[in-house]
Amino acid sequence: MENLEKMKQLIDKLNKYAYEYYVLDNPTVSDKEYDALYDELCELERQSGHVFPDSPTRRVGGDPIEKFAEHKHINRLYSLDKCKTFDELIEWDSKLVKALGRPIEYTLEYKLDGLTLCLTYENGHLSVASTRGNGVVGEDVTEQVKTIKSVPLSIPHKGIMEVQGEGIMRVSALNEYNKTAAVPLKNARNGVAGAIRNLDPKVTASRNLDVIFYNVNYIEDDIPSQQKMIDLLKENHFKTEKLLITSDINRIIEEIKGIDRSKLDFVIDGMVIKVNEVSIRESLGFTDKFPRWAIAYKFEAEETTTTLNDVVWQVGRTGKITPIAELDAVELCGAMVKRATLNNYGDIKRKGVKIGSKVFIRRSNDVIPEVLGVADQQGGKEVELPTVCPSCKSQLIENGANLFCPNEYGCKPQITGRLVHFCEKECMDIEGLSEKTLGFLFDKIGLNSFEGLYALTKDDLDGLEGFKDKKIANLIGGIQKSKDADLAHFINALGILNVGKKLAQDLAKEFRSIDALMAADKDRLLLIPDMGPITADCIIEYFSKHSAKIHNLMSLGINPKFEIANSTGVFSGQKVVLTGTLAQFKRSQAAEIIQKNGGEVQSSVTSTTTLVIAGEAAGSKLDKARKLGVKIIDEKEFIDLINS
C-alpha cells in the first residue's frame, strides 16, 4: 500500500515535469533528476506488479497488436471547406456577414499537415485514441498515441471529454530520425501517418511525435467560443498553438501573407478561419460535408519538374476523353508521381506541352497531380489530337474544349464507370458490383445499362466464372432491394454532370418526384440555392436525352419516392433535441425518424424546444432542458412513442 502511494506521488511529479518540458517548453528539472525519479518508479512498478493508467512508463510502447479495431466518435468529425484565393475568402466572409446582419469575430489557426486524431477521456484518464477515419468511425490507435510524450495520459477534467488534434512529426524530429534510420523518411507527414498507423507501438515511440490540439469535440458543458475552447484545452494540459482573434477579414489576410513556413518547426498547408462564437456556429449549421462556420485557406500546392514521356487518352463515365501525361517518376507531396492530368487538348496547346518536354507539375490541393506548363522545351514531339475513342474506336465528337465518345452503350470504360457510380452506397447501394465485375459482365453478357442491371436473372449469371449460387442470390437480392431507394439517392445515381449528393438532396426536396424534376425548365431550376446556369443546362440536357431510360427504369419496378414528413405523426409540431448516446440508434437514424414523424430536430436546447430525448452520458443540454422546464424522455420512451 505504501509503495502504491509512493508510485502515485512519483507519477504526478513526473507527469508535471513532462508537461512543463513537452507542452510548456519550460523544463524545471534536469534530465538527470527526471531520469532518477523515472528509474525509481520503474523499480516500484516491478516490485508491486502494478502500473497505473497514467504512468509515464506506458509511453515506451507495448507489444505489437494484430490489427486496428474500429472506434465510433461521440460526435462526427467534419472536414473543412477550402479556398485558394483571398477573393474567395472575402466572399465567404461577406456571405456570413450578410446572413447574420452584423460583423463576425473570427479565429485564425494553423492548418497542420499531419494525421487527425480524436482522443476520449473518461474520469480524467485517456480511454481511447483514434484516427479520424470517415468522420464517424476511425481506427483505435490508443497504444500508439500513448507513446507521444506531449499527450496527457490524465487530465484535471473528470467527465467525458473528446478532443481533436493533429498528430505531427516536427521537422527537427524528422531530421534527427533520418540521421540514424536504415530507411530515411521522405517527409514529416509520411513520418507521422506511418508511425501512428503502425501495428507496433514501439515504432511510434521511435519517431518522437507530437500532437497539437484545436477542438473539443464533446464535453458535457457548453463552451461559448473557440477562444474558451483553447483555454479549456490548455487548462487540461493539452498543447495548443497561438490564436488570432479579429472581426477584420483584411487583418486575417495580412496575417496569412506574413507567414514564413520555412521558420516553423512543423509543416502547414494552409490556415483555418473559424467563427469564434459557438452560438453563431449553431445558427449557421453544416452542409453535408462541412461546417458553414469554418474554412481553410490553402497555400499554393507543391510544385516540381520532370519529363513528359507520353500522353495517353482515357474515357470517363460521361464519355469525356481526358489526356493523361505519363512522366518520369518524381516525388511530390510525399508521393511518387508517374501520371498527371492535362485536362483537354486545348490545355495541352495553351501550355505548349510536347512529348519529351521538361514540365512543371503540381498536386492540386495536394491530391490530383496536374501538368502546369513547360519548364524546358528541348524540342519534343507534338501531342496528336485523337479522332477515335481509345477504347471502342468510335469517331469522337468535339464539344467546346472537350472530346467525347458518343458510343454510350458500347464503350466499355464509360459503361462500367456509370454502373460503378450507380451502384455506390450513396446512390443505389448495390453491393458486389465492382468495376472489375461490371467489366466482366459487359464482356460476357453485354451488360451495358442501368435497365440491363435490373433485367438480370439467375439464368444470365449461372455458369459464369466466380458466380456461385450464393453470390448470384445476394446480387439479385441487392438489385431488387435497391428499387426502393429514395429520390435523392436515385438522382445522385443517374450521374448527371455537376450533380452530386448535396444537390441531389436539394432537387429531391424541391421537386419531390422524378417526373416534376424532368419537367422543370431552366428558370425553375435556377431558383434552387447554389444552382448555376451551367449545372441547370446539364440537368435539362440529361433528361431531354434520357427520358426514355428513366421511364424504362420505372417500368422495371424502380419507384424513387420523396418521403414527406407525416403531419399527424407522433412528433408533429415538436422541436426536438437529441443528447447523449442512444443504444439502439445512431443519432442520424433517430433524427430521420423524428423528421418523418413530423418533428423538427434542433442542435441545441432553446426557448422554442419542446422535447429532449436523453441517452446515456447526456450532459449540458439535459441540464439546460431541466432549467427551462422542457419535457425530457429517455430512449425507451422514444421507442414506445414511435411504435405506438
Active-site residue list: 111
d(CA 363, CA 189): 15
Dihedral-angle region of residue 617 (phi above 0 means left; psi in -120 to 50 means alpha; beta otherwise)? left
Phi, psi (deg, nearest 5) at residue 29: -135, 160
SS3 assignment, position 219: strand
H or E stretch covering 19: none
Write 477-482 long-range contacts (CB < 8 A, 24+).
478/430, 478/431, 478/432, 479/430, 479/453, 479/454, 480/557, 482/428, 482/429, 482/430, 482/558
Q: Which three cell numbers stand for residue 361?
A: 507539375
* DSSP result, 312-369: EEEE-TTSEEEEEEEEEEEEETTEEEEEEE--SHHHHHHHT-EET-EEEEEEETTTEE
SS3 assignment, position 537: helix
Neighbours of 634 (CB within 10 A): 15
DSSP 22: I
**Strand order of the sheet with strand 115-122?**
125-131, 115-122, 161-168, 210-219
Q: Which three cell numbers stand for residue 575?
A: 422541436
Burial 595-629 (b: 16+ CB within 10 A, else e): bebbbbbbeebeeebebbbbbeebbebbebbeeee
State how far the alpha carbon of 297 is from the alpha carbons of 39, 159, 370, 374, 393, in Å: 47, 34, 20, 27, 44
d(CA 466, CA 439): 14
d(CA 414, CA 402): 15
* DSSP result, 240-298: ----EEES-HHHHHHHHHT--GGG-SS-EEEEEEEESBHHHHHHH-B-SSSBTTEEEEE
d(CA 260, CA 368): 25
Query: Locate cell 450521374: which residue?
Result: 495
H runs (alpha helix) in 563-629 = 587-596, 620-628
State how far the alpha carbon of 344 is from the alpha carbons of 308, 324, 464, 515, in Å: 16, 9, 39, 35
SS3 assignment, position 508: helix
Q: Which three cell numbers stand for residue 551?
A: 421511364
The angle formed by the CA atoms of residues 184, 185 and 190, to the nearest 5 degrees, is: 165
Query: Locate cell 458510343: which residue?
Result: 407
d(CA 630, CA 447): 57
Neighbours of 356 (CB within 10 A): 14
d(CA 115, CA 207): 14
Contacts of 365 (CB under 8 A, 6+ apart): 82, 84, 298, 301
Name residue 271's amino acid. Answer: M
Contacts of 599 (CB under 8 A, 6+ apart): 565, 569, 571, 572, 573, 574, 575, 576, 611
